[in-house]
Amino acid sequence: MSIIKLHDKYFKTYITAEKIAEAVHILVEQVSKDCKNDTPLFIGVLNGSFMFVADFIRQYKYNCEVSFVKLASYQGTNSTGKIKQLVGNNENLEGRTVIILEDIIDTGNTLEEIYKIFKDKNVKQLKIATLFFKPDVFKKELPIDYIGIPIPDKFIVGYGLDYNGIGRNLADIYQLTSKPTMKNILLFGPPGVGKGTQADRLKEKYNLIHISTGDVFRSHIKKESELGILAKSFIDKGNLVPDDVTIKMLKSVVNNVPDSSGIIFDGFPRTEIQAKTLDEFMEEKGETIGGMIAIEVPTNLLVSRLLERGKTSGRLDDQDENKILNRFNEYFTKTAVLKEYYRAQNTYYGPGNTVLKQQFL
């Protein structure tokens, strides 16, 4: 789950590819039941329907034909652009069962144009199947025979649908959402790289709140709270605190931060489960993670820096080289992969190589 930006607008995940596939499957079953003894001509309305039509047709097991039309505003001498023309419709439709495949029916204006055009083609029957339908805005008295997923009157993109030309290639459907207002960043890197130091600078400059999960755990350990005692058993050995414990704590901290321009996450997420949970959690708040900023320092320098810090930090996990190496091992086996997670979302900012891992191993 995430928030994406297309042109000037923000969209959040709304209907997953799996849910879309289920809806397409049900539509195929309904249409198959009604048409299997016929050879229907499926007509997709371009551009938006190309993905739906491809998935639909692939699953339709009986004889059928496929064609596409495009409804274009009539150009030429007409300046109003209101007269519509169906491009690509050259077949003889007399006596045929024609099934229009639409990606989305909104006001129904497009559908009405299609009806007008097919009215005098002497078809045997004309049926409409649409993957998405907005019942709240549909104003026409026209029958829609098959409806995949009814949705509220909010603009969507993905699975063939676009916003000003882009977004058609998204596998999931995204829904328009308000602009996230916070600058939320992840400071990322192995232990001792200087995340805390950089966080101190950034929070001053940009009025951000700094949340270091390590610091929160250590303050619980100091208070000897239940959470602290549990966390201590992992942290002292240089192991990661389990996901469920860390996530629960992080949510509670985030829910209680004072107003700010954003949050710097330091030491969280450390696993892919944590990263996914954070995305979902942010999205519930109408926010997003703006970027992961990765800092890298050669591992041998890190070890000496941590041992040096251990002289004054009082941190047991900074004082023993074996524990330090175990922390690196945890980082490189469970955490470093998160760079790919954020790279895939186009929010990774940092060195593009895995040199450090090679040095470490």
Tell me which residues touch Mg ion (CB under 5 A). 45, 48
If the CB atoms of residues 130 and 177 are measured against Mg ion, the closer one turns out to be 130
CB 90 within 8 Å of CB 41? no
Closest separation in Å from C-beta 217 to ligand IMP: 45
Decide if residue 106 touches ligand IMP (CB under 6 A). yes
Residue 316's contacts (CB-CB under 8 Å, 6 or more residues apart) are 236, 323
Helical spans, DSSP H, in 142-242: 195-206, 213-223, 226-235
Decide if residue 317 touches ligand IMP (CB under 6 A). no
Cα–Cα distance, 200 to 198 (Å, whole number): 5
Q: How far is CA 35 from the centre of its chain?
A: 37
If the CB atoms of residues 151 and 208 are measured against Mg ion, the closer one turns out to be 151
Closest separation in Å from C-beta 91 to Mg ion: 20
The stretch among 105-113, 181-189, 228-236, 256-264 that binds ligand IMP (CB under 6 A) is: 105-113
Residue 24 touches which member of ligand IMP, Mg ion, none, C-beta under 5-8 Å by kind: none
CB 339 within 8 Å of CB 350? yes
- Of 7, 12, 8, the C-alpha closest to 288 is 12
The stretch among 106-114, 207-215, 229-237, 279-287 that binds ligand IMP (CB under 6 A) is: 106-114
If the CB atoms of residues 136 and 321 are measured against Mg ion, the closer one turns out to be 136
Cα–Cα distance, 211 to 257 (Å, whole number): 9
Q: Which of residues 48-87 bind ligand IMP (CB under 6 A)?
A: 48
What are the Cα distances from residue 79, in Å, to 85, 87, 117, 141?
14, 19, 21, 29
If the CB atoms of residues 112 and 243 are measured against ligand IMP, the closer one turns out to be 112
CB 71 within 8 Å of CB 48? no
Binding residue (CB under 6 A) for ligand IMP from 73, 107, 122, 197? 107
If the CB atoms of residues 160 and 267 are measured against Mg ion, the closer one turns out to be 160
Closest separation in Å from C-beta 225 to ligand IMP: 49
Positions in the binding site for ligand IMP (CB under 6 A): 48, 104-111, 155-157, 161
